[in-house]
């Protein structure tokens, strides 16, 4: 099965991100917008994983979570990968909780490497993917929309607590991916 590890977002944050997507859609760029219910903070994409490996991943996540304390995250600015002029992915960054999120991703990376998972080729970047650019259609207008977003408003109203990490299965369908929570690891409270 295809699997990944992530932090689930609150319904309030998902509604806020849907509003941001709505504003960006006015650019009429060729972007495949992520369904708000599917937006999450990915800590590690695992790819295809056997049932045997899934059980070991669950155990590793429980060990990691046992050593963590709850924290809050908040949203920050909008941006694009690899960069705004050549946008392939539109994202919203993490402000508060960014370091804690990076630390968790680092711990997951270390533990899963011991289980035979390949180490990520690039540095972890705490972000929420909200859209994937399919072509250059109206890209300048999209760039203007992203640059004009008011990040201070996002930060002020976007806080949520984090006290779990979740292992998800990703099933690809013609109408988009379906994410199913396989295991939740709760932090030490």
Does 157 participate in catalysis according to the annotation?
Answer: no
Q: Which of 40, 53, 150, 183 is catalytic?
A: 40
Measured CA to CA, the distance from residue 178 to residue 65 in angstroms comes to: 25
Contacts of 89 (CB under 8 A, 6+ apart): 80, 81, 129, 131, 132, 133
Task: Find, among 139, 122, 158, the residue nearest to 39 by Cα.
Answer: 158
Does 53 participate in catalysis according to the annotation?
Answer: no
Helix or strand or coil: residue 13?
helix
Residues labelled as active-site residues: 40, 127
């Amino acid at each position: 099965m295809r699997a990944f590890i992530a932090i689930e977002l609150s319904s309030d944050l998902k509604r806020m991100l849907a509003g941001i997507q709505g504003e960006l859609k006015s650019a009429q760029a060729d972007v495949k917008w992520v369904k708000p219910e599917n937006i999450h903070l990915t800590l590690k994409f695992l790819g295809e994983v056997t049932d045997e490996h899934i059980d070991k991943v669950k155990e590793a996540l429980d060990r990691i979570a046992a050593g963590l304390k709850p924290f809050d995250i908040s949203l920050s600015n909008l941006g694009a990968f690899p960069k705004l002029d050549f946008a392939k992915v539109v994202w919203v960054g993490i402000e508060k909780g960014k370091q804690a999120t990076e630390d968790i991703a680092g711990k997951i990376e270390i533990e899963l490497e011991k289980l035979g998972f390949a180490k990520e080729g690039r540095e972890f970047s705490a972000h929420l993917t909200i859209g994937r650019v399919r072509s250059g259609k109206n890209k300048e207008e999209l760039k203007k929309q992203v640059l004009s977003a008011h990040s201070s408003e996002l930060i002020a109203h976007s806080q949520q607590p984090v006290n779990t990490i979740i292992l998800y299965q990703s099933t690809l369908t013609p109408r988009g991916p379906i994410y199913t929570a396989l295991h939740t690891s709760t932090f030490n409270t």
